[in-house]
Structure 1
Amino acid sequence: MRPHPNDAPTRTGWTPPGGRPPLSSRLLRATWRGLPGRRYRAGRERSLPVAAADGSVLVTDHYFPRSPGDFPTLLVRSPYGRGLPWSPMYGVLFAEQGFHVVLQSCRGTGGSGGRWHLWRNESADALATVEWLRRQVWFDGRLGTVGPSCLGYTQWALAADPPPELKAMAVQVGLHDPHRFFHAGGALHLENALVSGVGMTHQHRGVLRFAAAANRLRRDLGRIAAAWPMRPAWRRALGEEARWLDDALGHPDADDPYWDGASPGGAADGSRVPTALVTGFHDALAGQSFEQYARLRAAGCEVSLLAGPWTHGTALQQGWAEGFAEMLAWLRAHLCDDPSALRPTRVRVHVGGANVWRDLDDWPPAADPSPWFAAPAGRLGRGRPEAPGLLASFRYDPADPTPSVGGPLLSPGAGPRDNRALEAREDVITFTGEPLTAPLEVVGPVSALVRVSADSGRCHVFVRLCDVDGRGRSVNVCDGLGVLDAEREAVVELAVPMGAAAHRFAAGHRIRWQVSGGAHPRYARHPGTADPVAEAAAGTPVRITLRPGSALLLPETGEVRPSG
């Protein structure tokens, strides 16, 4: 075991300089509660030049413990700038716990040279940064990575060709597959795409400019989503600087050569780098985190998973104390030979509805999917109904698209929400079970089998699982969207993934299955025709009919003792 850093000698030729983190970072850091106590005072070297793979200068800040000794290094590569909140969350906090932290602006952002692109340069620039690290006298050869969202993507980009120094990763609400983020399931994820585009285009320029751009998008989102066609409207709103996003939204086919090399997720298939994953069940990237876990487990890689009751944003706010503790314990275990804070199981999940945390041996836990069948008169039950013909029919109108309410969004309206007003619309149908006589827990991937037809043969089918309490309040648990592309009136069986859940339906509550023709502007509306969604010049109303045999598939699990 390595000696404690306080007992280690100062590395030859380097004395910690006296620079302090910016005042704004120190003030924000002081507001956080529930974090471990500070071990060291943090220092900072500002705006160090690091050569990118093409020779551009990558502007880099170095945070460090203001104490002699050897400390491992964490690499944090960000397209969002190096100021708030990244400076206090990753620079200051981890330096206080005994790490060098290299916080770097990606190419074309935050003062770094070159041109920004989401996936073209990150692997090469990360390796160039590691080469720079090798020449730093304070770098002792122990390297980890940490960060959320697109900072997770930059970690996977390094892991695609991992240097020997890379000993641990901590990926928080992280991205690895851009195509899946923009186009999963055959639908354009419009709202999340535009919100992410604003963040990547403006956040590295400072809080005020980013806030102004976010407010403009909030004001213009409805106009963009309602435009026929949409693409010129979002082009005007995003501007020339976000041309990469316009290109990404305009290439829906995953097999298009445009996407070659975009996803470094294959790194997980042969990875030997111990990796901690932190996600939220209402995170827009939760599906990618669960996929990362499955691929790492299949590869025999050491991996842990923490899944909380969070959205993409609240994982970095209300969930920050839990997430930070998880990542810190992992990085200490694998970079400092100190496993004392690791939990005994690979997986820890928060069970909604019960408000408890559960420790699990693996994800997902063993559970055979149990079908809950839609039945006439809006009923939902375990028995397969014998009714012939149809269960329900509704009209979806692209000129008045069914709105989105809550769910896995990047915007502030994400997460669980009351769905009663949505369910009162004529273009939303629901199937509801009887009040439960005992609690029922659903833990694992949820899906739906939808037997459906449409008079045009083309539509979206949005399905959602809700928990209805004794007052009739209907709250979303998870959801998914399928795409029907068939002959007119042909009955098709759609298997629709609905994400993962860990939720207890209390005794007296009811299980509800919600079905509609979309969730707008979360997904770009389907025009009801064969025209590409982004290019359609007009829409046509569609009559959508649900057929017997349609069912929710719920991974029901037995009672498990809470872990705390």
Structure 2
Amino acid sequence: MIINENVYIPMRDTTHLAADIYLPNNNEKFPSILIRSPYGKDREGTLQGASRWVKRGYVVVVQDCRGTGNSEGDYHYYLDDADDGHDSVEWISKTHWSNGKVGIVGTSYSANAGYLLAPTQPNGLTAMICALGTSNNYLDGRWRGGVWHVAHAAHWAQLVEVNTGPKPLPKNSNLSSETIDRIKKITIERARKTVKRMQLGQGNPLATDFLMESYHHSKFDDYWKAQSIDDKYAHTVVPTLHIAGWYDQFQRGNLENYKGMKNNPNAGPQMLIIGPWFHGKIDTPFISQIEEQWLDYWMKDENNSHLLEFPVKIFVVGANPDSSGPQEGIWRFEKEWPLKRTEFKKFYLNEEKSGSVQSLNDGSLKIEIPNSSEKIDVIDYNPVNENLPGNIGFRSLAIGANNPGSNQLDDEVSGQVLTYSTSILEEDLEITGEVLVELYISSTAVDQVWAVNLTNVYPDGTSWLCSDGILKASHNNSHSNPTKLEPNQIHKLEIEIWPMSQVFKKGNRIRIDIMNANFPKTEPCPYPSLNSIYHSKDYPSSIILPVIPANSGGKWFQEDSDEPFKGSLNYL
């Protein structure tokens, strides 16, 4: 393998971005892979990742995003990635070692950078693999439900800031004098900017600017539209393998991108894999084989069309009889997402005691519409309470213990959470798809945060977190033009619970927790208030669950089985 370090690729505004290029050991023309990242092209694991593809006959180009690593310019949080990605793809496609085909491979930020450049349709862009990425960085990342995601934003800024400041000069003596001079200039400019800002009391450039800028854009405006592709699917015409994690903070975005691009008849085939992953490394072996065969199919014309027989592959948590954790289950291959055979079932909030938890109310979930005499459930909310309910780990890059499968019982009995539980299930029940909560509420304040957890309650009382949703009430009708509530008036809210796939076992219960804070994951609403939930015939608060009938379709696949799925795709 040949490695050319710090090759500078020109952008349309004359800025040059640094890339390390990994090539096979011969002079043929090859398909190429572009990976763009703000975390450093020389990050640990890069060499190993590049070698994987070079061995398969690809050139791999790993690039520092604008203003990071050894690249020129200033970093502007996704705002330059569409144009810079476009220019980089076209530059690669015209090099002497390229056969004209360029693919995108990326996880997290690198996936987002790929999604953003795709609608610009650069010449040469042939296929993409985008894992754990977003469709709308406002809703999927910083302001989910109109609520600022404190933990993720702060932690992410720390990850990137180390790569936007002055960096040591490379020790590679094989670099040209021109390249060394360019890197010296970048380092000196960053050092001067840092000194100037510190002298003015403005703090570190990235940690200050990124957090403040994104926080002050609290509405969905042009700032966020530039970082989103969910309004650009009509212009996104590239076959893409979308890889999502049920427990990833960007899960919704990957699924939305699959649906949006799938609905564009000019986009080419799309494929979706949803596994039991958090945000980070995906280490399921057969997924790596699918990735390789996906690119080989589009970039090298290899006959791997069997991949498209079941374009959707989902991990059903709890589908195996002896499952005991949120990452245990069985893969099932499907034809579409969402599943056409879904039967949506509505469960109504009810005042009847479930007898399953000592919460504020211990309410029930029932198929029957409640009667008109139901009482009102109330939360007395105070933002300065030292023990606000919530978590820091779920779908957050920040480290925390409260992840899927973690026990929510402490919050449920804290006196700040309303619970509504089904009766004990008489048979297994699979919930796979998008979940919606309809709440009739009132508040003594002009606004309030409403957070909902969906949990799996075991016979011993353990209340596993499965998925969650959150909404600032003023954003119920619009994230672009939020409207304050009229205090003490009843309002209907629709709260999106992010998609899931889980089998709730016979003997368990389904529960929702409703609270007015999910801290320190998200910013608490500043208004002390009395917040009421109504559940009666006139105000039938409910949760709508996507139920999948047992043995109704799909193809089950167990990784340790003796049966490969099909064709040359050998999973074992």
TM range (shorter): 0.7 to 0.9
Asked if 1 retains the 8 angstrom alpha-carbon contact of 2:121 and 2:235, the reply is no
In the other structure, the counterpart of 1:245 is 211
1:100-152 per-residue CA deviation (whole Å, 9 max, x = no partner) reads 11000011101111101113322222233234324421111111111011111
Quick check: 1:308 aligned with 2:275?
A: yes
Equivalent position to 2:16, from 57, 76, 83: 57
Q: TM-score, normalised by structure 2?
A: 0.79
**Which amino acid letter does the alignment assign opposite residue 498 of structure 1?**
I
Change (3 A) 1:407 1:390: farther
In the other structure, the counterpart of 2:239 is 274
- 1: CA distance, partners of 2:396 / 2:463: 19
- 2: CA distance, partners of 1:239 / 1:329: 44
1:34-80 per-residue CA deviation (whole Å, 9 max, x = no partner) reads xxxxxxxx442211122233222211111123356442101111111
- 2: CA distance, partners of 1:252 / 1:329: 42
1:435 Cα shift? 1.4
- 1: CA distance, partners of 2:42 / 2:432: 38
In the other structure, the counterpart of 1:370 is 345
Change (3 A) 1:322 1:492: farther
1:414-455 per-residue CA deviation (whole Å, 9 max, x = no partner) reads 433111112121001111111111100001101101111112
- 2: CA distance, partners of 1:520 / 1:380: 26
Asked if 1 retains the 8 angstrom alpha-carbon contact of 2:349 and 2:365, the reply is yes
Asked if 1 retains the 8 angstrom alpha-carbon contact of 2:276 and 2:315, the reply is yes
Alignment length (residue pairs): 481
DSSP 3-state at the match of 2:433: strand
Q: TM-score, normalised by structure 1?
A: 0.80
In the other structure, the counterpart of 2:296 is 332
Asked if 1 retains the 8 angstrom alpha-carbon contact of 2:134 and 2:251, the reply is no
- 2: CA distance, partners of 1:122 / 1:271: 15
Equivalent position to 2:42, from 53, 78, 83: 83
1:317 Cα shift? 4.6
Equivalent position to 1:360, from 318, 321, 334: 334
- 2: CA distance, partners of 1:322 / 1:196: 30
DSSP 3-state at the match of 1:288: helix
1:391 Cα shift? 4.1
Change (3 A) 1:406 1:436: farther
**Which structure 1 segments of 5+ residues have no match?**
1-41, 209-234, 529-540
Quick check: 1:185 aligned with 2:145?
A: yes
Change (3 A) 1:342 1:204: farther
DSSP 3-state at the match of 2:143: helix
- 2: CA distance, partners of 1:443 / 1:236: 51
In the other structure, the counterpart of 2:424 is 435
How many percent of aligned residue pairs carry the same amino acid?
24
Asked if 2 retains the 8 angstrom alpha-carbon contact of 1:73 and 1:101, the reply is yes
Equivalent position to 1:296, from 247, 250, 261: 261
Change (3 A) 1:154 1:468: same
**Which amino acid letter does the alignment assign opposite residue 177 of structure 1?**
N
- 2: CA distance, partners of 1:404 / 1:192: 12
Asked if 2 retains the 8 angstrom alpha-carbon contact of 1:278 and 1:323, the reply is no
- 1: CA distance, partners of 2:134 / 2:344: 28
Asked if 2 retains the 8 angstrom alpha-carbon contact of 1:61 and 1:104, the reply is yes
- 2: CA distance, partners of 1:390 / 1:455: 18
Quick check: 1:496 aligned with 2:495?
A: yes
Q: Greater CA deviation, 119-128 or 327-336?
A: 119-128
1:297-354 per-residue CA deviation (whole Å, 9 max, x = no partner) reads 11023100000011112xx1544x3543332221111111124362521100101122
- 1: CA distance, partners of 2:534 / 2:230: 38
**Which amino acid letter does the alignment assign opposite residue 552 of structure 1?**
I
Asked if 1 retains the 8 angstrom alpha-carbon contact of 2:451 and 2:468, the reply is yes
- 2: CA distance, partners of 1:365 / 1:113: 46
Change (3 A) 1:430 1:318: farther
Quick check: 1:563 aligned with 2:557?
A: yes
In the other structure, the counterpart of 2:513 is 514
**Which amino acid letter does the alignment assign opposite residue 298 of structure 2?**
H
Asked if 2 retains the 8 angstrom alpha-carbon contact of 1:442 and 1:554, the reply is yes
DSSP 3-state at the match of 1:478: strand
Change (3 A) 1:522 1:323: farther
- 1: CA distance, partners of 2:28 / 2:459: 60
DSSP 3-state at the match of 1:369: strand
Q: Greater CA deviation, 198-207 or 362-371?
A: 198-207
| Superposed structure 1 runs of 4+ greater than 4 Å apart | 203-208, 235-238
Asked if 1 retains the 8 angstrom alpha-carbon contact of 2:32 and 2:92, the reply is no
In the other structure, the counterpart of 1:452 is 441
1:405 Cα shift? 5.7
1:373 Cα shift? 1.4
- 1: CA distance, partners of 2:290 / 2:159: 26
1:345-376 per-residue CA deviation (whole Å, 9 max, x = no partner) reads 11001011220111111001022421111111
Asked if 2 retains the 8 angstrom alpha-carbon contact of 1:443 and 1:555, the reply is yes
Quick check: 1:119 aligned with 2:119?
A: no
1:190-236 per-residue CA deviation (whole Å, 9 max, x = no partner) reads 2112222222222577999xxxxxxxxxxxxxxxxxxxxxxxxxx99
Asked if 1 retains the 8 angstrom alpha-carbon contact of 2:92 and 2:102, the reply is no
- 2: CA distance, partners of 1:188 / 1:118: 17
1:176-198 per-residue CA deviation (whole Å, 9 max, x = no partner) reads 43322211322112211222222
In the other structure, the counterpart of 1:424 is 413
Q: Greater CA deviation, 452-461 or 289-298?
A: 452-461
**Which amino acid letter does the alignment assign opposite residue 306 of structure 1?**
I
In the other structure, the counterpart of 1:542 is 529
- 1: CA distance, partners of 2:282 / 2:43: 13
Change (3 A) 1:474 1:251: same
Change (3 A) 1:405 1:392: farther
> After superposition, where does 1:258-269 map in structure 2 within 5 Å?
258-259=223-224, 261-269=226-234
Change (3 A) 1:153 1:198: same
- 2: CA distance, partners of 1:118 / 1:197: 10
> After superposition, where does 1:142-221 map in structure 2 within 5 Å?
142-180=101-139, 181-202=141-162
- 2: CA distance, partners of 1:102 / 1:464: 42
Asked if 2 retains the 8 angstrom alpha-carbon contact of 1:311 and 1:415, the reply is no
1:461 Cα shift? 0.9
- 1: CA distance, partners of 2:137 / 2:202: 21
Equivalent position to 1:396, from 353, 374, 381: 381
RMSD between superposed Cα atoms in Å: 2.4
DSSP 3-state at the match of 2:243: strand
DSSP 3-state at the match of 2:39: coil
- 2: CA distance, partners of 1:470 / 1:406: 25
Change (3 A) 1:297 1:246: same
DSSP 3-state at the match of 2:292: helix
- 1: CA distance, partners of 2:165 / 2:248: 25
In the other structure, the counterpart of 2:455 is 466
